[in-house]
A and B are shown apart, each in its own frame.
Chain A
Amino acid sequence: MVKLNAEKDTVTAAHYRVKSYPTIMVLKKDGSEIDRVVGYYQPRPFMDQVEDYLAGRNTLASYAAMEPDSGKDPGYMGRLAERYFYHGLNDEARRRYLKLLTMDPQNKSELVDDALYTLARMSRKEKDYAQDAKYAQMIIDRYPHSDMYKSAILEKAGALRRDMKLAQARTIYLDYAKRFPTDEDAAWAKEQADTLSVKIQHGEGA
């Protein structure tokens, strides 16, 4: 059993394409991956997953093999996409997330807003900030009641800032602080707007 600080042991983390924490990997004795558990779980559900993996059940490979039969079920598609994402297989993940988007425009599965947010994050990692902002905007436009709504606004502001559209980003941060004054990120958003004001005064960005 090994505990590694992923921020320090970046070589090993990169080797297993670990993208979020905590990630608990179940490996064969030679270090090859059986599967992984991503995020926090209560002990029992956590153990169920580890036991499954040790027995070769419910691995990504076996889950992916169900796609021809289960591929029309949005719930299945969302979970498959997420598992690919957890494995750092972004192209495979993106393909399934996009399928989910077309399959479930009403978001009956309640996975589509999360899917869009993950698509935005993947675009951000790939430095495609225009696409990042587009996915965030889709959450804002389509799913205003989503619990990802506020995160999507901040994601869009961040994307615009990285794209050097500083004035637009500043407007969004200011608006956020005004609309959600009691939100835990309101003060942070105001700070971002102030920082951007200084940058804009110095002639940075558009």
Chain B
Amino acid sequence: MKTSALKGWGMAGAFALTLAIGCAQQKHETAAPQSIAWFTSYDAALADAGKTGRPILLDFYTDW
């Protein structure tokens, strides 16, 4: 249950980034990517966002 929910979130997250960086009027035609290259370092993500000007989606999870 938890795993599948997380997968769902991953897809949703990928779609979110697409929306964030895509043109608003094109959002319904933009295909969601098949996989996501997640940063695992906060600092690296922050540096990347600074360069690209994109917002950040930050997922705090646990292994419980």
Contact = CB atoms under 8 A, between A and B. Distances in A.
B60 A23 contact: yes
Contact of B57 (A9, A24, A41): A24
B16 A4 contact: no
Interface in B8-64: 8-9, 11-17, 19-20, 36-42, 45-46, 49-50, 52-64
Place the interface of chain A in its size category.
Answer: 20 to 34
Nearest to B8: A43
Q: Which of A18, A40, A43, A46 has the most CB of B within 10 A?
A: A43
A34 interface: yes
Interface size class of B (residues with CB under 8 A): 35 or more
A104 to B, nearest CB: 31
Contact of B61 (A4, A27, A31): A4
B60 to A, nearest CB: 4
Contacts of B38: 1-3
A3 B37 CA distance: 10
B45 A22 contact: no
A1 B9 contact: no
A42 interface: yes
A40 B59 CA distance: 12
B39 A2 contact: yes
Contacts of B36: 1
B49 to A, nearest CB: 4
A87 to B, nearest CB: 13
A5 B45 contact: no
Contact of B16 (A18, A22, A40, A50): A50
A113 B24 CA distance: 42
Contacts of B6: 22
13 contacts: A1-B17, A1-B37, A4-B40, A21-B61, A22-B62, A23-B60, A25-B60, A27-B58, A28-B56, A41-B12, A43-B11, A50-B57, A51-B16
Given A1-B17, A7-B63, A29-B50, 9 more contacts: A5-B63, A21-B62, A25-B58, A27-B55, A27-B56, A28-B55, A29-B49, A30-B46, A43-B9
Nearest first, the 6 A-B pairs at minimum CB distance are: A2-B45, A27-B56, A25-B58, A43-B12, A6-B60, A29-B49
